[in-house]
Amino acid sequence: MKNLKYILVMLAVICAVSLASRADDSTNAPVKPYPLKTCLVCDMQLGDMGKPFVFVYKGQEIELCDKSEKPEFDKNADKYMKKLADEAAKMKK
C-alpha cells in the first residue's frame, strides 16, 4: 500500500512539473509568425521531412523539421533566437 501511495505522489509531481514547464509560453499576447522557410536548428527546407513541428517561444512562432530537434533548441534558445532575428533582418533588405 505504501508503494502505491509513493507511485501516485511521484506521478502527481511529474505531472505538475510537466504542466508548469508548458505554462511559461502561454500568454494572450499576439504571436509573431515564423518568417523563414528553413528549420532554425538544422537549416533544412521545412516540409522536406513531413509536417514541421511548430511551437511558440516568448511570443515567437518557431518551426523545426521535427520534434526531435526541440531539445537542441531548448539548450541554445538564445543562440537560435539571435539567428532568427539575423535571418529575418536579412530578408527585409
Q: Give the model's confidence band at 71: pLDDT under 50 very low, under 70 low, under 90 confident, else very high.
A: very high
Q: Give the model's confidence band at 18: pLDDT under 50 very low, under 70 low, under 90 confident, else very high.
A: low
CA angle 61, 66, 67 (to 5 degrees): 80
| 24-63 pLDDT per residue, tens | 455 577 999 999 999 999 999 998 889 999 999 999 999 9
Q: Enter the C-alpha cell of residue 17.
A: 512539473
Query: Domains of the chain: which residue ranges?
Result: 28-92
Distance CA 82, CA 48 (A): 24
Burial of 22 (0-12, 13-18, 19+ CB in 10 A): exposed
